[in-house]
Amino acid sequence: MSFRVHVRVMPRTGLLDPQGQAVEHALSALGFAEAGGVRIGRAIELEVAAASRGEAETRVRQMCDKLLANPVTEDYLLEVEES
Amino acid sequence: MLNVAVVRFPGSNCDGDALRAAEQVGANAYFVWHRDTGLDGADIVLLPGGFSYGDYLRAGAIARFSPIMQAVQRHAAAGGPVLGICNGFQILCEAHLLPGALLRNAGLTFVSKPVDVVVEQTATAFTSAYEPGARLRLPVAHGDGRYVAAPDTLRLLEAEGRVVLRYVPSSEGSPFQPNPNGSANHIAGIANGLGNVVGIMPHPERAADSMLGAGDGLGFFTSMDAKVPSP
């Protein structure tokens, strides 16, 4: 089976996110003063061949821990869908 | 004669300067390629600055898995000296040879200018030629130089004297803006527990030739010795 996995890597809460802050200021300058708490991360999509959804998720978690996210500064979320 | 291997990754751009700085202190310096699996009998390894693998994903994240880094890991584990400069520091953090990580500068801009730093630890493989507390003026040139680490890690680094270089606080009258990147505790460089692995953001290899008007970085290279001074 093949799965499409969406990985969302975000800067860990509490760490300074200067990109998010800059975008928040820019939104405010454009008249979107209601926007707050802007944080900028990274989205990664990949196809994974696996026997089951659970196996796909386990493997992608290993990929995140080893390469796709930095455990010192980032957290990640996964979404797995059959493709 | 000291054998000094300068690792070249695709995207390294301070490799030539690092090689020349090592040669200036009389070392037998040579390049090794990222696909090489051995260090050709190196006593010392330099990971130069640049943008290895285009800084894709995160600075240093891909370089960490190159074949040569397995050899660098073995060299470091055996107590061999390794100096990571700028991108080399980022690679050492990604490779877990040093703790913490280097993130986008707090001001979001690429910073390229001289900064003043203090040498806080001289019992390392690359700072023994300096006096403790020596002030150096070294160039920085980076977009991702904001050192961060877990609070426990920062406490440990401070308690064990593993902060090697620190940006001079503005209150001390430096003409240069202090801390160019917002790094934790104004950290500009750290060492591992043994002092054989050192990572720094400033570029001593660009300040190692008095003909170019700056010699403050030369001490990193004159310090080089196959054995590491004990802390």
CATH at B86 = 3.40.50.880
Would B202 be classed as within a structural domain?
Answer: yes
* Nearest alpha-carbon partner for B13 in B47, B49, B60: B49
Q: Reply yes or no on whether the pLDDT at B171 is more than 70.
A: no
Is residue B4 within 8 Å of residue B65, measured between CB atoms?
no
> Which A-chain residues 13-72 have CB contacts (< 8 A) with chain B?
15-16, 18-19, 22, 67-68, 70, 72
With tokens 């030739």, the residue in question is B209
Q: How many domains does chain B have?
A: 1
What's the domain range around A55? 2-82
Cα distance between residue B52 and residue B204, in whole Å: 19
Q: How many domains does chain A have?
A: 1
DSSP label at residue A13: T
Is residue B96 within 8 Å of residue B214, measured between CB atoms?
no
Question: pLDDT-derived band of residue A83, with 50, 70 and 90 as boundaries?
Answer: confident
Q: Which of B14, B86, B142, B186 is catalytic?
A: B86
What's the domain range around B32? 3-222
Would B227 be classed as within a structural domain?
Answer: no
DSSP label at residue B97: S
Contact A73 B104 (CB under 8 A): no
DSSP string, B136-159: EEEEEEESS-EEE--HHHHHHHHH
Tell me: the pLDDT tens digits for B112-168?
A: 999 999 999 999 999 999 999 999 999 999 999 999 999 999 999 999 999 999 999
Tell me: the pLDDT tens digits for A5-16?
A: 999 999 998 888
Which residues, in sequence order, are CB contacts of B129 under 8 Å at separation 6+? Answer: B219, B220, B222, B223
3-class DSSP state of A73: coil
Look at residue B178 in the predicted model and tell me its pLDDT: 83
H/E stretch holding B23 reads helix B15-24
* DSSP E strands, chain B: 3-8, 28-33, 44-47, 82-85, 101-103, 111-119, 135-142, 146-148, 163-167, 187-191, 197-200
Cα distance between residue B31 and residue B68, in whole Å: 12
ipTM (interface predicted TM): 0.85
Question: pLDDT-derived band of residue B213, with 50, 70 and 90 as boundaries?
Answer: confident
Question: Which chain B residues are Cβ-neighbours of A41 within 8 angstroms?
Answer: none
Would B228 be classed as within a structural domain?
Answer: no
Tell me: the pLDDT tens digits for A46-80?
A: 999 999 999 999 999 999 999 999 999 999 999 99
Would B229 be classed as within a structural domain?
Answer: no
CATH code (residue A18): 3.30.1280.10
